[in-house]
Amino acid sequence: MKEKTPGLLIYLFMIIAVGCGEPITIIDFTGHEVDISAPVNTTISLAGAGSEIIWALDGGKSMIGRSEYSDFPPIIENVPIVGKSSNSPDLEKILELKPDLVIADGMLSEEDRKVLEEDGVAVIVERFTDPYRTLLFIENLGKALGKQERADELFSLLKGYQDLIKERTSGLTPEDKPTVFLEWLARPYHSASNGTSYHNQVTFAGGVNIAADETVNYPDVSPEWVMEKNPDILLHILGSTANYSEEELRVRRDEIMSRPELQNLRAVKEGRVYVLSGTVITGVRSAIGELYLAKWFYPELFEDINPGSEHERLIEKFYNIELEDAYGYPYPSTPQDVLLN
């Protein structure tokens, strides 16, 4: 029996080693220090953008629950729903599944977070409407999933898009930047102010949001107010939970262009009315939305950039699926199809 003891001890040590991951600490958007044993085996995402990033990092097999609004990539439909969003999680279902990590956005209440953490669940809350926070989350999630190399690839690609936009717009003065009225969903004149994902994308791409200083996040403004501001560009952002054909985007633009009250608006008279799918506003694909906006805002500065080609490249590389549907209209013309390095 004594001769077998060393082998038994080695075997027991291996079991313990496998069961113990590397302890890491992640500081999330709220300032919480989240202690995680990496790599985590099971995850639940209550944020659509978080779900996209999990799958982009090849961590889809870890996902055992998702929010109803998590609908990309399409294969995610096979994952059980555990709540509509971060604002309304089904805590009972989540606790039954016993995930190692729950990912949420800022809509998760402190009370719900406390319930999860008291049951031993690590919770990361992130602000996916901020391009810089999204990049940081990709780094952090790569560590948590043990997918650092994959995270580095995604980080480099997305940061490359952001750096390109910053570099080409850095020399612009406030007078050079176009003023933009943005409305979203199917409600005419429903806009977005400072701090929202829509505002962040417009400003990051070099536009000036005319509703930035409104006192509520999503103000309803009047046609008269828009006419008084007389913006250079009118941007309509569709919902983020549906796919759209080019015809659907064209019909929406035609409706805006034909509004009697806007016929003397500078954006309408000059044909600078654009429609963007809400699916490229947050998360992994937000960089594509920024490319669309930058190209619309500054066609000369981004003449060589093809947002559609970059979108295809991103989707094929990190989700292994072909790009379908339409995401921006009118599609910005590109004289040559150049992929960014």
Q: What is the pLDDT of residue 292?
A: 97
Domain 174-329 -> CATH class: alpha beta
Tokens of 261: 């009250």
Angle (deg, nearest 10), helices 131-145 and 286-297: 160
Average pLDDT, the chain: 91
Tokens of 215: 């006192």
Does pTM top 0.85 for this prediction? yes
Report CA dihedral (162, 164, 166, 172) to the nearest 10 degrees: -150
Q: Tell me the C-alpha distance between 59 and 284, whole Å.
A: 14
Check: CB of residue 95 under 8 Å from CB of residue 119: yes
Tell me, what DSSP letter sits at residue 45?
Answer: E
Asked if pLDDT for residue 103 goes beyond 70, the answer is: yes
| 69-73, 76-80, 90-94, 332-336: segment of lowest average pLDDT | 332-336
CATH fold of 19-154: Rossmann fold (3.40.50)
Q: What is the pLDDT of residue 243?
A: 82
The residue among 94, 93, 96, 84 whose CA lies nearest residue 47 is 84
Q: Tell me the C-alpha distance between 234 and 270, whole Å.
A: 11
Asked if pLDDT for residue 177 goes beyond 70, the answer is: yes
Q: Tell me the C-alpha distance between 322 and 304, whole Å.
A: 23
Listed in order, the ranges of the chain carrying CATH 3.40.50.1980 are 19-154, 174-329
Tell me, what DSSP letter sits at residue 261?
Answer: G
Helix (H) or strand (E) holding 295: helix 286-297
230: exposed, middle or buried (Cβ count in 10 Å: 0-12, 13-18, 19+): middle
